[in-house]
Every structure is written in C-alpha cells, then in structure tokens.
Structure 1
C-alpha cells in the first residue's frame, strides 16, 4: 500500500470529461502539487477541498475520489469527481412507502394549490354577494311618462327596492304602477277600458333579448263582417272592442313582476279616491269636449259639485268609482274579465247596443312574442312592436332611408326623403296581411319603390289601389322605465281617440277601437272601385284592428354595450315621423337634445298632406318642399317626443321643448 502523505491539488472547472496522458476528469482538472504518494491499494486517494482552494486527504465517501493512481510526475491520469458537501442525508424511513402524489408534490406545488383554492372561494363569495346581497352602490334608474307625479311614483317604487333588495320591485312593476297612475291623472287617454303594447329588453341576457306583449283590443265574436255604413253612423257602444289593458298588465307582471298586484292597485286606488289636480292637458281635452254631446255620467265626472261647471286647470278630480274598481281588481284580478267588474261592464255596453258578451271578456288573452321586429340602422338597432301596431311603419321608413343611402348630413333634402319614405310605408301598412309580409319587406335588399330626389309621385303610386288606414289617435300615453334590474321597459296604452267611446262604466272610459277597422262605406272620400278597403284590416269577429300606437326602443348594434333609448311620443303620424327624424339626426352626428328639439315635419295620407313646423322655415324648407311638389301646411307644433337614454351606466332625460309636461324622474 502506498505511503500516506499530504498532497495539495489545484483545480479548475471543465464542461466535459477530457481524455489525455496528463488528466482525465468529470468536471475538474486536478494537478498534483507536492511530493510523495497518498494512494491506497485500489489506487484511490481521498481528498477534501479546504478553505484555501487546495485538497487534502479525508475519509472515503465524504468528498472527492479518483482512480488509476498517480505517476512520478505528480499528475493525475484519471479522475472521477463526486459532489462536494452533498445535500443528501440518510433517511430514517422508506420514501417509496408514501403515495406517489405525496412523493411528487413539492412545497411550491402545495402553496400554489392553496392559493388557487383561496381565489376560487373568494370568487364564489363575490358572485353570491352580487346576485343576492344588497347593492354596495345605489343603482341608477329612470322613469319617463306623460306626467311628473306618475313618473315620480314609479321611481319611488324602484328607489325603495334599491335600498333593500333589487328583487323587491322590477322595472315592469314600476311601469305598471306608472301606467295606473296615468289612468287616474289622464282618464281621457287610457285605462282599463283600452289596450296597448309593451316591449321589455333584458340587458343581462343574450343580445337583444326582447319580449313583446300585445294587448290590443279585440272585436266581439258576434261582429258583423258585412258592415256597410259610414264611420259617423257607428254608435258609441258599437265602437267599443273587448279591452285588453288588464290582460296585458297581468301577462307582464306574471313574466317580470315581483311586487304584489294588490299593492300596486291599492296605490292607484288611493290616488283616485283622494283626488288629483287637473293638469293642463286634461283641462284642454275637457274644453274641446264641451262642444260634443256627452253622456250624463261623463258630465258628472268632469264637472264640479254643481254638475254644470266643467273642471279647469288645478281643480281637483276625484274618481271614487274608479278607486273601488281598482281595489276590487287588486283583491281578485279575475273580477275584470269574468267577475263582478266584467259583468257590470257587459251589462252597461249591451244596454247601449254593444255586441260584447261575457264570453268575449272571458276568452280575451294578451299575446307574447319573442321574435320582435328589429332593424339595423347605421350604428344602432331599432326594435318596434309588430302588427297590428304601427311599429312596422317606423321600421319600413327607416329601411327605405337606409336603402336610399343619402344620410351623411341632415338638411332640407333629408326632410324630403323622410316624407317620401313615410308615404310609401303608410301605403304598405294598408296591405300587410301579417308579420311575414313585414319581415319580407325588411329583409329585401331591393325594391321597385325608389325615392325621387327631384320630385314626388302621384297618390296612386303610394296607395297602390288600397284605401289608407283611417286610425284613431289622441287617446294614448307612454311609459318608459330603465331600472337597476337591467330591464328596459317601454309601453304604450290608449283608448283610441280622446275620451274613447265616451262610454263610462265602473269609473273608467271604454275604447272606440272598432272604428280602426276597415270596411265598405267607412270613408266616402274614396271610390271603392278605385281604392278598395284594406283586406288585411277588414272588420271580422275575434280580430285585433290596426292601431296607430307603437312602442320602440333603440339598442346597441351587435353588442350588449352601448346606447339604449326609449321614448314618449304623442299622436300617430307625428309620433312616427318624430321618431324617424330623431333617429336620423342622431345617426348623422347630432347630439340627443338637439335631435329631440329640432324642427320637424309630418305626413298624413288622409288627407294627403305634408305638415311642417313654422320654425323649420328659417332654412327655406317650406318653399323647398313645395318646389318638389309637396302639399305643405305649416303648424306651430307637430306632437311631442321626449327620450330617456341609458349609456355606460348613466341615465339621462331629454325633454321636448314643445311640451315640458313630459318629465322623467331619475336617481
């Protein structure tokens, strides 16, 4: 065995094993410094690295070893290097007895898994808080209607629920309460004896998740289809159709409502019992009514205690009979169509010559439609109620303007194109048999009808051999609600013309919707051999006549984020033309308030006449239109159209300068 001596070695790192006469290393080049040998019988020396960078002998297995001995020149021919100060330690148990997942798991893996689990739990807790917890920030909401007090009543319902729980009251609840309030404040424009239409947009669901509720009045089962008298020969009772208002309210509440109906009807009943101040609009309607022969019971409602002096502005209108009816419906909603209220209604009408029966009342049901008519117009989407409403007229007009393509700016030529598009669309309305005709029109990329830029066509071109529809207007009112529950609701209700049929029963006025049908001899102005009555709107049993009313919403195009807008638009022809002009102005760069306030035009088919607000003539509009062949009449004002807008979490009201009675309440 070689003698034992201390030797020193210097070393440097290498990247691979080197072969040669002087050294072979696995990671180190080792050079002998010193004299003597320190080689055991296996030609192996054991060394340990010292603090000064040299090696000295130590016990086997604790440091480095090499093999194949050393030569007399003090060089290593072959070296095998072991790791210095290995972190491995002798174990006291067999690690392979533990589960594989435990052996493979590191401390870092455990930390990461724990953090992921923690994040998942926090996320679930936040979702639960958002869905069922009280809101941390008071949500925003807005209510727009024809009357400030009614808008406030609807908003207070939403404000009360926002302080507690969102589910306590929905936007539809607020719309119902606001509408009931309007029934009390404006009995000449709508109520239990009428009908209407509603659109509900649910923002938190997939894009354009719209629901339409159609509660238009319906003709009795015993309706005479062979009617051949003039419109003026129809009696008040014969003009009444089966009312749909309450059925629509019940349908909407069943789908979207939360507050008990009894609660909503009791609030309206209290208002009717205590009395309301006569507003300017109702005072004007009463003044116009004085010249008509009106029934004694309606006279009693609209006069003071002497039963002779008609109510004026700021007088108090009390309606105890209506309050009793509202309370009865609140206790039992079936009382209207099949109970005591319904029986009293039918009895009153049949005594006056109506054909409405209790079976007609029992069989009435509002309809629900999810395939709502929509039109993409530039960067917005316009949704509107379908037939028998006038919503398709609005969409048809915009569709024709869209095809025309000339809408980079709003000028006198734009007014002309709008008038022409309205004429064509009113002509289409008289011929649409059902919704499939409307869809075909909206989906068609081409049309034989073209707007002339240099003039107008004859009446025959627009009417196409069909008498234009002669529809009542003036007895309708709107409600739009944008709530914190991500619902946007717009509804229009009415009883036809102002004060409807003037038949009063159980405290509310009945409609005159039967006069909206077409029939032979209705309008002697038209020669039936040249212009036939509308076949699609021809009078028939169990049928809903065409309506001048419509409900419309503006929505974002191809997304859920963006502009939402609802309206309060009064009067048939001016309402449609007003909406068209606001939309066109808005999409050509005007701000919303300017779009609402700017001068407007309107078009009617009976008479075939164009109307322009006097303020529009500052740009020479009247002479421009007359030069193209339009028959123009100037007017001080062409209806009122206010707007309620939702954009990026903010709700804004844009009141029409023509009538500041339209007020939205916002919080």
Structure 2
C-alpha cells in the first residue's frame, strides 16, 4: 500500500523523499568541503599544491593513487549519506505482518503458521477453517457450509463465496408437515454440504500455497491429538445420552474427557488427508461421497453431491460515519447487519452517547426494524421470489428506508408497547448455534472474513464412516403448516425447494475507512445464529462511534432484540441504571447468564495489526 501521503513515525521513506534528502546532503557536504578548503590546509590539499608548484608530472603510480583516493572519498561519502539517512529515519518499527482471530488456540496458531510459511490470508483462513472442524465439531466442519468474503484493500476488489448447504432433490415440504422434528435431527435434516468445495473454490482463485499445504495441518492435528476445549466438553455433556456410536467418534472409551485432555480424531484425519491429496472431488464424487449417501439413507444422492456448486454472490454495503461496511448479499444475513447500521448512522452517535438510555432505546428499535426484514429475504436463485428479494435488499439499504425508520423511532417518544404492526411483516428462523468464524489480514492487504456452520450443536447428530459430522440445515427452511420456533408464521420466500439454499444469519463483514485508505480497516464476524448481526453492529458502534479501544469494544456487555420474542436480552454486568431506564421505556428486559453472541475480528490501522477474540469464548487470536 502506498503510504507516502500518510507518513507515520518509523515508516520507511518513499524512494522520492530519500533521493531528495540524499541530494540535499550531497549539496551540503560539497559546500562544507569548499568552505573548509578556504579555511585550512589539509594534507591532501598541501600535497596537490606542492606537486603543482613543482610542475611535477604525475607518474602512472600517482594516477593509480588518485583513482584509489577518489574511490575512497566516494565510498566515504556514500557511507556518510547512509548514516545520516539512518539517523534521520530512526530505527525501523517492527510491526506484525498479519493477524488471525479464531475461537481456538490451535486454529489461531495454524492460521499464523500458514502466513509465516508464505501463505496469504485466504490460505490461512482455509487452514484455520479445516482446523475448527477438527477441534470444535459441535460448531463447524466439512459436513456443513458457509460464506467467505475476500477484500483486496489495494485494489478495493471484493469477492464473495456462497458455499451454503442446499436442499437435495428428495427434499419436499410434505416430509416435515406431520413431523417437523425431522428437520432437526436424523437423515432428513441434512442438506448437501458446501464447505469443502467452498474452500477449494477460494483456494483456486486466491491461494498461494498448495492445496495440500493448507489442509494437512488439520490432518496432523486430528491424527496427533489436540486439547479438549471447555466449549467442546460442555457441549458433549449436553449430548451424553446419544448413541454409543455417536459418542465413540469423540470419546473412544465412552467417557466425556475433562477439559485439557488430549483427544484424537483419527478417522477424520484419514478423510481430511484424502481431501488433501485428491481435492474436493474426493468429497463430492469419490469414496467420501458414498459414505454421505449411506449416512443419510439416500436422502442425499450422488447426483446431489456431484451437482453442488459454489456461487459467487454480489457484495452489499452501507456507510457508517466515515467508514464503508461490506457484507454478502442474501441468503447471508449481511443485509440485517447493514440495515441496523444504516438506520443508526443518522443519529451520529459520539462517545458521550454510550452512557445514555436513549441511545440504547434507539439501538433496540433499530434491531427490531432490521430483524423484521428477514421475511423478505432468502435465496435469490429461487426465480419465484428473486425480484422480491432483490427489491427488499435494495430498499432496506437505502437512505430513504433508514430515514423513514428513524422517523418512526423518533415518533415513539422513547416508549415501546410491542405493537408488531408498527414493524414490517417478517418471520424469524431457528438459531444456528453450531457456527464458527475466522478473520485474517495478511501483509499484502488481503482481508478475509469467513463464517461456517453445521446449524445447531452437532448438526444432524449423524456421522459418516470417516467421522464426518453432517449438518441439519434443512431446519433453516420454513415449513408451511407449522409456526416457527417463535410462533410466527413461516415465510414463503424461504420455503423448501430442491437445490435451494436456506436463509442464513451468517454475516462475514469487512470495514474500511472512506477518509484515508490506510486508516482503520478490519475483517469481522460472529457466531450464535440469529444473534450474530446485532452483536457485530454493537461492536462496530463501540469502535466507530463510542471510540472504545478494540478489545474493550468486544468485552463490554451486549444486548439483543429480534422483535418476535418480545424481549430484550442483556448480558450480566450490563449497566443496571440503563437497564432500569429501558424497562421504564417499555422494553421487556431479560438478563442472560450466557453469552448472547461471540464477535471476532482483525484490525489494521496504517501498519499496526491487532487481532481480537471474544473473551466469551476464550480470547484466542494471534499476530506475527
């Protein structure tokens, strides 16, 4: 990145500036020498004058001596200039080359090691994503899918990969009409996985290392062992009544390991090694694909797997203050995040506003209006609803919509009565708890935000012979004859059709300054299903409006409201004075002992890189 117009202490001088200084120093040195010649007789000057006065002809040896003396003087001059330039610059500041933020120390380390080996941010994010599937199988894995946003900050080019799971050919709403639980667990809950093809597609376009080099670290981890995390152990305790076959994949002796014990997933290591050697074809048209068909009792067919494709999506954006915020178009949840920020941007919050209950009233109402839009969003590949989805996306990200919503919020006079008719029609979907996020920035200004999921904890609870845990993304679709989790009628836009992708809450995002290209920019994302957009929005407001330092912006307690639950959840230690004031304003405040959401990001400000992970899930991030 060209930083010549934004010089910072410790940064290298541009070539033009260095040449200017060097020429000035040469002129200064020449002038000093001329002045010195007038004032004193140096040994060299005296020798020259004696030779001239004696009219002595220089011998060939003296000519040689003259050359040597000339070279010596020139060399000394160059060294002097170099020393002066060095003094002028000062010692160069040693800054990180890249940063990684994941939810596990193993995967943050693998991410950083990939960068150290010469890989770029895409290589590192792929390596970290495969790692997460090994150590946190309850959240993510190659049996799921997700979204990746790649931003080249030098060229300002954006690339969005949609590797969301798709409904198989055999999928039909009638399957779930009489038994909606079939979409939550078992073979009929599994949609065609997209993660492996998604990673391969991103690698083919951006990767610097070989495919094998980015997959093998996860293979070695699964085979040689890794430390059981607190998150994994707690989630295993929730499913300890599962079948012996299921438990054996994670606990060979049938006992849940204590936190810190070494675990192995050798079957999965073999599957990943096959993928490392043969590419994604092994998963979609090879031995691993046959295992998936068998595990789902042919609900997913070989044709479904062979025909799966990664989709390049448009990016969507809005502005918040003097920063651009980018995310991925539907079926990702990016529009929800951007709508929240689009609404709140008109309030021009500053640091003092973080202490006012009125600020949080506006924030909660913005959440409600943004989440109300989900009923208008879905997979734009569904031709029946494509126009509606695109029109809704464009409208809700417009200044006109934001202004209209702010006027409605202002007209409430800080009094909320939970009148749903005040908000747009919508539906809300079940929370996809099983989610993982990776943020990476490399030294070449490539920024990656990738979020993957298997939907709920441990997905479908189905494993293939090779230990691949399959998703339960069919539950993210709407079923026409059943109310959803929050007793709200389902959305036709998100109904089940073969080859269709369900609406998602996943929000990979990139933020960069519109004022100066080298000013604060970051890659950010989160986990915990439908609560992801609100969490990311709060962290960005903490940074960009309230001017909190980066770690504090993540650490402070958060709140959440998605309209149809008729409650505003808030975390322990949230300011009780503000909570009481919001209650008086009509907000139904409900304290949550557990984390509402998890947010992770990597930020770069000029040359300084900071990787930030959420203390709610372990604070695992690294720079190198």
* Same structural fold, with TM-score higher than 0.5 when normalized by the shorter chain: yes
1:597-650 CA-to-partner distances (Å, cap 9, x unmatched) read 2221111345332111231234x1221111111111112343332332101011
Taking the aligned partners of 1:137 and 1:187, their CA distance within structure 2 comes to: 37
CA deviation after TM superposition for structure 1 residue 188, in Å: 1.0
Q: Matches of residues 220-231 of structure 1 in structure 2 within 5 Å?
A: 220-226=168-174, 227-229=176-178, 231=180
Equivalent residue for 1:460?
Answer: 420
Taking the aligned partners of 2:228 and 2:271, their CA distance within structure 1 comes to: 21
Contact 1:265 1:330 in 2 (8 A): yes
CA deviation after TM superposition for structure 1 residue 222, in Å: 2.3
Contact 1:145 1:479 in 2 (8 A): yes
Taking the aligned partners of 2:455 and 2:485, their CA distance within structure 1 comes to: 22
Is 1:340–2:284 an aligned residue pair?
no
- Structure 2, unpaired ranges of 5+: 1-92, 378-387
Equivalent residue for 2:449?
Answer: 490
Q: Matches of residues 172-321 of structure 1 in structure 2 within 5 Å?
A: 172-205=122-155, 207=156, 209-226=157-174, 227-229=176-178, 231-234=180-183, 235-290=185-240, 292=241, 294-305=242-253, 307=254, 309-321=255-267
1:444-477 CA-to-partner distances (Å, cap 9, x unmatched) read 42464321342125342256454x2223322111
Give 3-state SS (helix, strand or coil) of 2:601's partner.
Answer: strand
Determine which structure has more spread, i.e. the larger CA radius of gyration: 1
CA deviation after TM superposition for structure 1 residue 184, in Å: 0.9
Contact 1:480 1:490 in 2 (8 A): yes
1:394-443 CA-to-partner distances (Å, cap 9, x unmatched) read 01111111245566722221111111111111111112342342122212
TM-score by length of 1: 0.73
Equivalent residue for 1:642?
Answer: 600
The 3 A distance-change label for structure 1 pair 457 and 402 is farther
CA deviation after TM superposition for structure 1 residue 137, in Å: 8.2
Equivalent residue for 1:552?
Answer: 509
Equivalent residue for 2:361?
Answer: 416
Give 3-state SS (helix, strand or coil) of 2:271's partner.
Answer: helix
Equivalent residue for 2:565?
Answer: 607
Contact 2:218 2:272 in 1 (8 A): yes
CA deviation after TM superposition for structure 1 residue 560, in Å: 2.6
Equivalent residue for 2:310?
Answer: 366
Taking the aligned partners of 1:328 and 1:266, their CA distance within structure 2 comes to: 10
CA RMSD between the two structures: 2.3
Taking the aligned partners of 1:374 and 1:177, their CA distance within structure 2 comes to: 28
CA deviation after TM superposition for structure 1 residue 547, in Å: 1.2
CA deviation after TM superposition for structure 1 residue 240, in Å: 0.4
- Structure 1, unpaired ranges of 5+: 1-135, 162-168
1:354-400 CA-to-partner distances (Å, cap 9, x unmatched) read 5211101011111113x411111111111112211111100111111
Equivalent residue for 1:94?
Answer: none
Q: Matches of residues 465-484 of structure 1 in structure 2 within 5 Å?
A: 465-466=425-426, 468-484=427-443
The 3 A distance-change label for structure 1 pair 464 and 665 is closer
TM-score by length of 2: 0.77
Is 1:382–2:325 an aligned residue pair?
yes
Aligned length: 510
Q: Matches of residues 386-405 of structure 1 in structure 2 within 5 Å?
A: 386-404=329-347
CA deviation after TM superposition for structure 1 residue 523, in Å: 2.5
1:247-272 CA-to-partner distances (Å, cap 9, x unmatched) read 11011001100211122222211111
Taking the aligned partners of 2:500 and 2:516, their CA distance within structure 1 comes to: 37
Q: Report the structure, 1 or 2, having the larger helix content.
A: 2
Equivalent residue for 1:63?
Answer: none
Is 1:434–2:392 an aligned residue pair?
no
Equivalent residue for 1:157?
Answer: 114
Equivalent residue for 2:63?
Answer: none
Give 3-state SS (helix, strand or coil) of 1:454's partner.
Answer: coil
Range moving further from structure 2, 404-413 or 451-460: 404-413
CA deviation after TM superposition for structure 1 residue 488, in Å: 0.6
